[in-house]
Amino acid sequence: MADGDSKDSPNIHSSNAGKLRKLFYSKYNVEDFVGKQLYDQRDADSVASNDLYVRQFIRTYESLEDAANRLHETLKWRKELGVNDLCETSFESWRYELGAGFYHNHDKDGRRLFFVKVKLHKKDAADFPMVKKFLAYHFETIYKEEPTKEIVVVFDMSQAGLSNLDMDLIKFVITCFKIYYPTLLGYMLIYEMPWLFNAAWKIIKAWLSPHAIAKIKFVTKSDIQEYINKDQLLEHMGGTDKFVYKYVPSEEREEEENKLKKRVTFAESAKTADGDGSPDSFQSPMGKSFLITVQKTPEMLTCMCILSQLAAETLYSPGKSSKGPGMRKVGIRGTTGKMEPGVDNSFIGRLLTISPAEELEFSTDESGKETFDTICLKNTLPYPIAYKVKTTSPEKYKVRPSFGVAKPGSTVEVFVYLQQGYHNTISKDKFLVMAMEVTTESQDKLAELWKTIPKENIMEHKLRCVQSSKPSQGQGAGVDSSQEENVQTLAQKVDSLMESTRQTQRMLKALGALQLMIMFLLLVGLFLHYQFTPAESANYTSCPGSMW
């Protein structure tokens, strides 16, 4: 049930709508507020004539005065935001094309699903007013289409990080369902919330009543089907729906609708004329939405992978050869069939892009000297990712560095050295690359974090080891000499990186202390603000027993 009660008990509130309207008019001078541009005349007309609209503010566990105050706040907000004048063309096309929020499918009880992709949102104070209007437009549109129906908001937090956390936006969404659209929300599903958001949830929880907290469900891939059937669930959430969001501008939708109407056969037209159909039967496939469904073909998947990697630079590891420890080029994951000789591919993981995707190749000759291969870890996310590299045979290999932090947008090269005497024993050896989201680069804290973090929050990827022989002995000496020079160069780079890391750690400690102080002052300021807020405004922002 949504925050209001009118949808489930219309008979109870039908008579109360007139009482609320009478109380509202006695408490607030509507004509005066309209004249002062505090109310929109269209909203004032709805209050006067639409019982359904008035009833949504009535709750059985609250007084009519509380409902009147909520109605007053809603009318002021609608005028301030210009809700009645918002339309599809009120926003730039890129907001729709981004796909951060869209309606698609239904839950088990037939409620419309509104998906919010948290990873696509970036906090921007300058853009926040337009973001509020954009969300209000979505809520207003669905309410006008089906004023007696509820929706389910699905916050898809997979691959989201701290840069996507926006407390102001969360507060706005809560206020929308608490005051402005009290009967619209059925419940919220928080999908795959990263553990880093636990602290934020504790703060949000303090804003909510027990009734509201009960409406928020935390789900994962394993249990989301308790609320949404598999055929209505997106593929990455464990469902079978291969829907891909795409925005279709209104002009193209109208053009497509006209084409469909022209394709109506004479038989279909005759059927409509006989009363078996109606003109409304022929609608655009998109209806009033601006979404279409695209089936993912193998060719499309390959193209999507290529597009996702356009920003990735070509990575090179030391050496001359195009195989093994030589030059390595980051390729595309998802291709089928056998790779061409000398071409490597990349594993695009939830947190890191790992190259090579499947195997480490160690090129050896008869001398049995130490050889190496490179693992490239690219962080394409806007926050740091900690990594760790482990092996099933630690006595055979040296890994430098075996752990660390990949900064946002950076690429880390991990060099794996196969020691002398083990060249013929590596066929069953494997490496495990582990990654997790972090907020610190302190080595001491990272070591403790690896021990305590839940396994489901760690990304893992395995690599197997293979052996290859060098082309000829004549070329061997030159390659060995080149490898020795490269090893020395790499050792110097590692030392330089370690020193840079130590300096960064010292700076982070100082910044951490400063951050704690700022957070403390902010909390004190919020406490004082709410402590000394006039009691009069409490009637508008929090109602006794309110679900929100």
Of 446, 427, 425, 428, the closest CA to residue 437 belongs to: 446
Q: Are residues 55 and 169 in the same domain?
A: no
Q: Are residues 180 and 140 in the same domain?
A: yes
Q: Are residues 147 and 184 in the same domain?
A: yes
Per residue in 323-359, pLDDT (tens digit) is 333 334 333 333 333 333 333 568 888 889 999 989 9
The pair of three-digit structure tokens given for residue 267, joined into one six-digit string: 């038989």
Percent of the chain with pLDDT over 70: 72
Residue 51 maps to a domain: yes
The pair of three-digit structure tokens given for residue 440, joined into one six-digit string: 């610190």
210 and 180 Cβ atoms separated by less than 8 Å = no
What whole-number distance in Å separates Cα of residue 15 and Cα of residue 76? 25
Q: Are residues 243 and 368 in the same domain?
A: no
Residue by residue, DSSP assigns 124-185 as -TTTHHHHHHHHHHHHHHHHHH-TT--EEEEEE-TT--GGG--HHHHHHHHHIIIIISTTTE
Rounded to two decimals, what is the model's pTM? 0.49
Of the candidates 231, 251, 271, which is a domain's last residue? 251
Q: What angle do CA 129, 132, 137 make, to 5 degrees?
A: 130
Counting every residue, how long is the chain? 548
Burial class (CB in 10 A: 0-12, 13-18, 19+), 486: middle
Residue 527 maps to a domain: no
Residue 228 maps to a domain: yes
Is it the case that residue 182 has pLDDT exceeding 70?
Answer: yes
CATH code assigned at 448: 2.60.40.10
Q: Are residues 214 and 71 in the same domain?
A: no
What whole-number distance in Å separates Cα of residue 102 and Cα of residue 234? 13
Residue 174 maps to a domain: yes
Residue 95: partners with Cβ closer than 8 Å, 6 or more residues away:
130, 134
Q: Are residues 358 and 239 in the same domain?
A: no
What whole-number distance in Å separates Cα of residue 31 and Cα of residue 29? 6
Of the candidates 81, 111, 131, which is a domain's last residue? 81
Q: Are residues 150 and 59 in the same domain?
A: no
453 and 436 Cβ atoms separated by less than 8 Å = yes
Question: Quick one: angle between helices 41-49 and 10-27, nearest 10?
Answer: 130
The pair of three-digit structure tokens given for residue 235, joined into one six-digit string: 């593929």
Q: Are residues 105 and 123 in the same domain?
A: yes
Amino acid at 10: P
Residue 186 maps to a domain: yes
Residue 534 maps to a domain: no
429 and 391 Cβ atoms separated by less than 8 Å = yes
What whole-number distance in Å separates Cα of residue 266 and Cα of residue 272? 10
Residue 366 maps to a domain: yes
Of the candidates 251, 275, 296, which is a domain's last residue? 251
Provide the pLDDT for residue 196: 77
Domain that holds residue 227: 86-251
Q: Are residues 75 and 97 in the same domain?
A: no
Q: How many domains does the chain have?
A: 3
Average model confidence (pLDDT) for the chain? 77
Q: Are residues 100 and 61 in the same domain?
A: no
Q: Are residues 118 and 226 in the same domain?
A: yes
Of 201, 468, 126, 462, the closest CA to residue 323 belongs to: 468
Residue 384 maps to a domain: yes
Provide the pLDDT for residue 438: 86
Q: Quick one: average pLDDT of 219-241?
A: 94
Amino acid at 286: M
Could you identify the residue written with the tokens 């059937």? Answer: 229
Burial class (CB in 10 A: 0-12, 13-18, 19+), 246: middle
Per residue in 57-68, pLDDT (tens digit) is 998 778 899 999
The reply to whether omega before 534 is within 30° of 0 (cis) is no
Q: Are residues 17 and 142 in the same domain?
A: no
Is it the case that residue 366 has pLDDT exceeding 70?
Answer: no
